[in-house]
Amino acid sequence: MQKYKKIGFLLICFLIVGVIVFVMNFKKETSTQTNKEDTETSSIRAHYHFTVPDKWKNDPQRPLYVNGKYHYYYLYNRDYPDGNGTEWRHATSEDLVHWQDEGVAIPKYTTENGDPWSGSVVIDWENTAGFGEGAFVAIVTQPSADGGKQEQFLWYSTDKGQTFTPYGDKPIMENPGTHDFRDPKVMWDERDEKWKMVMAEGAKIGFYESNNLINWEYTSGFTTEGMGIVECPDLYLMQADDGALKWVLGASANGLSTNKPNTYAYWIGDFDGKEFIAEQNDPQWLDYGFDWYGGVTFEEGTQKDNLTRRYAFAWMNNWAYAHNTPTLQEGFNGMDSIVRQIELKHEGDNHYYLASQPIEALNKLETTTESFKNINVNGSKTLPLKGDVYQLEADISWEKLKNVGLRLRESADKKKHVDVGIFYNPEQPYFYVNRSNTGHPDENLQLVESTSPFNTNKKQVHLKIFVDTTSIEVFIDDGKKVHSQVIFPEEKDQGISLFSEGGEAVFSNLKFTNMKSANH
């Protein structure tokens, strides 16, 4: 009997110990899960913008569409913020919204010619360069072993763009004697079956041609004015909505000295295969915000007719404050704008412009929607909505007023917000996006309100606004004007208010749509 009492006692002890261990493990797992959820909740990684997995990214390289996927390369620094040098990292996507990281394709410091900078990659379907039919051929700027001169080097891939091999250690294009000689953009011209290239050469854009992607000949130059050094040039043919065929020459440029944007400038004109002639001296701009630089345009892979529309996106940052971002606390710095569709439109007396709209694939991320037909505002009105990742669309009309718009990412006390609106006066009305009342990257407070001209005779506007955790992009009317800005609001600041000063405005067809993350 005594023996069974001891056994019972031992069983009870084991049972008690087991319960204690179970409770401790449960608490540990619960704590771990809570910490994980807290971390995910507090993350400010963008939900539907492309972001670098870690460390640093800047210039995007023009994507290519092959076998159902877009292949995207971008400048990446694995040693950021302690070490220098960029390399080409690779990502793929079927819809330009959801991305798969493919790792580094062109590593840095693998030759004597330093690290790879910007350039472009093409697919050599006809084997003009001799690396095989369908080889990926990249022409890339590198600071050469010859004193660090900016020169052009060729890399090629025979494994569908996963890894690239350098074509020797000598440049295929030597520096012609200018400090700036970079960012080659290559295209195939069916008219004479030659490769054509545009190159950033200080304030000039140089034009070159080749039969084989290796030997290049200079044909002409296009000189810009009032925008300093141009970067990342672009050249493509488009068909306007009136049927006219026009060539577009683009480049990232800084027009701030003349009160112009610091984004993507473009000229409409004619390119005969050797020389570009612009129809107007002053450029137009694809974005009026502060954070749309190094932009690239590219063909929509699923369409046989690539003349009526193209895609475009850019690095969403500014060299004035490129390293000032709270995302560094999460170990990364680098984001792109959403991909937009661009079309060439005709207006007035033979004037053409590029109109931008967000790509339809973003609609896949839409979740819940709330709509309002007509809201009359004279003063301020707070909507019964909250959000930090969403799309908002609205029509605004008025008869007479001074200022009208929306306050987004607004704090509970109304002191912090991003303002999107129109300052309307008979002499020079303008559209604006003002981030001065919320967190933003410009410590010098010089780049807080972006503006664009607004038609004096207009008394209505259509807005399509995309808000993500650290960004806002505003498409005005048909997208002739777009403003892209980086913002750093507090997570809890999620209010939305409408305002009108100096008169009454009507906000109609207002549609608020929450958006889920593209990262899962």
Q: Which residues are catalytic?
A: 59
Q: Is 342 helix (H, G, I), strand (E, B) or coil?
A: strand
Written as one letter, the residue type at 218 is Y
Closest C-alpha among 378, 347, 295, 301 to residue 455 = 347
Torsion over CA: 383, 389, 392, 398 (sign) = positive
Structure tokens at 89: 């990292």
What is the distance in angstroms between the CA of the first residue and the CA of the last residue of the chain? Answer: 62
Rg (CA), the chain: 27
- Asked if residues 471 and 433 have their Cβ atoms less than 8 Å apart, the reply is no
Q: Is the dihedral of CA 402, 408, 409, 413 positive or negative?
A: positive
**Spatial contact of 504 and 455, defined as CB atoms under 8 Å apart:** no
Residues 360-391: b if buried by 16+ CB within 10 A, e if exposed: ebbeebeeeeeebeeeebeeeeebebebbbbb
Assigned token pair, 272: 């005969």
**Residue indicated by tokens 């074509």:** 167
Please give the Cα distance from 170 to 152 (Å, whole number): 9
Return the residue matching tokens 């955790």: 469
Both tokens of 231, joined, read: 């970067």
406 near 499, Cβ under 8 Å? yes
3-state secondary structure of 462: strand
Question: Strand 390-398 and strand 495-515: pairing?
Answer: antiparallel
